[in-house]
């Protein structure tokens, strides 16, 4: 049974271009399904009935998983059985009778402009290579709205200082080119001129990653998360996640006059509906702009009307 799960996950990765995090989540979901049906003395996918799938759905609800978790696991199960039908492993899909629970759309958390300014200035307290690197990373995230996975995957060649753009590889290898504002450009230039070479000295081979750790190796998602967490806790933002800067970028762009289509292109959303949720935050963030200006800050708020290459990709 496990072999067909592995085959399905490989199909999602290679043919559908699903992100590694999605593949990992689906593996957990389907492993739980296998464990459940095997307890019912099922040893082959051809023996799984609608009653087994319905029982698994009830099992999830009885364990009081969040609706979002049940919805994801249900989606994984339905996608898997649809795949088995397409591969002629089974003739009838046993999951057609189950429905995914409704999941309320949430409003993403966004920082105020003052909080962004406070957070992004923290690395400047240190003139160490790490401090300059952190400043460049945080400025780049807020200036472009890219995902953390996209940030740590950047290569030196993805950056064009002459054009003031960065090429970002989205999910499935699809690309978009994003403009850099003044503060991000200056921070990246300073990192490249005064810090990166010091961090890569311990690496025996020429490093190609744009952002590296203290050993000269590519910085990981987990490494970035620990860095951000440390800065956030210093200013009392204990629930800050790496995605919060992406949310802040989008809501601040809208508050500054961008339309949804512009924000969609910058974020790399395939559907405008995915971007629509940020519109609910627009009026709140717009009221923050005059307050921020009164602080005489030099930060560049994400600006509309600078076109980025569109990409078909989900949030």
At 65 the pLDDT is 79
Can you read off the two tokens belonging to residue 12? Answer: 């999602």
Q: What parts of the chain have a pLDDT lower than 50?
A: 204, 283-298, 306-314
At 289 the pLDDT is 46
At 303 the pLDDT is 62
At 78 the pLDDT is 93
Q: Quote the strand ranges of the chain, DSSP E.
A: 159-160, 165-169, 175-179
Please, are residues 252 and 285 in contact by the beta-carbon 8 Å criterion?
Answer: yes
How far is the CA of 6 from the CAs of 26, 82, 221, 304, in angstroms?
10, 15, 25, 44
At 209 the pLDDT is 93
At 256 the pLDDT is 82
At 313 the pLDDT is 38
Interatomic CA distance for residues 197 and 195, integer angstroms: 6
At 271 the pLDDT is 72
pLDDT tens digits, one per residue of 139-161: 999 999 998 889 999 999 999 99
> What is this structure's pTM?
0.62
At 105 the pLDDT is 56
> 3-state class of 227 per DSSP?
helix
pLDDT tens digits, one per residue of 157-174: 999 999 999 999 876 566
Please, are residues 203 and 215 in contact by the beta-carbon 8 Å criterion?
Answer: yes
At 169 the pLDDT is 82
> 3-state class of 66 per DSSP?
coil
At 172 the pLDDT is 57
At 284 the pLDDT is 47
E strand or H helix that includes residue 283: helix 282-286
> 3-state class of 71 per DSSP?
helix
């Amino acid at each position: 049974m496990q072999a067909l799960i592995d085959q399905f996950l490989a199909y999602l990765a290679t043919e559908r271009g699903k992100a590694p995090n999605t593949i990992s989540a689906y593996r957990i979901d389907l492993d739980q399904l296998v464990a459940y049906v095997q307890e019912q003395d099922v040893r082959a996918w051809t023996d799984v009935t609608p009653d087994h799938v319905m029982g698994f759905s009830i099992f999830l609800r009885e364990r009081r998983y969040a609706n979002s978790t049940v919805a994801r696991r249900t989606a994984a199960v339905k996608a898997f059985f649809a795949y088995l039908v397409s591969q002629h492993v089974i003739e009838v899909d046993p999951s057609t009778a189950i429905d995914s629970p409704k999941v309320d759309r949430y409003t993403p958390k966004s920082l105020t402009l003052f909080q962004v300014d406070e957070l992004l200035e923290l690395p400047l307290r240190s003139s160490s290579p790490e401090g300059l690197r952190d400043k460049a990373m945080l400025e780049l995230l807020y200036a472009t709205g890219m995902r953390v996975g996209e940030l740590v995957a950047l290569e030196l060649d993805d950056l064009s200082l002459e054009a003031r753009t960065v090429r970002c590889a989205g999910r499935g290898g699809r690309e978009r080119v994003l403009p850099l504002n003044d503060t991000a450009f200056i921070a990246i230039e300073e990192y490249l001129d005064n810090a990166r070479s010091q961090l890569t000295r311990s690496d025996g081979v020429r490093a190609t990653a744009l952002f590296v750790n203290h050993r000269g190796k590519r910085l990981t998602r987990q490494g970035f998360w620990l860095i951000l967490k440390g800065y956030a806790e210093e200013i009392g933002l204990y629930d800050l996640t790496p995605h919060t800067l992406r949310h802040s970028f989008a809501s601040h762009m809208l508050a500054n006059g961008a339309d949804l289509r512009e924000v969609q292109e910058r974020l790399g959303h395939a559907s405008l509906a995915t971007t629509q949720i940020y519109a609910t935050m627009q009026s709140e963030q717009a009221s923050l702009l005059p307050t921020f200006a009164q602080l005489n800050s030099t930060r560049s708020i994400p600006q509309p009307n600078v076109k980025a290459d569109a990409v078909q990709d989900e949030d």
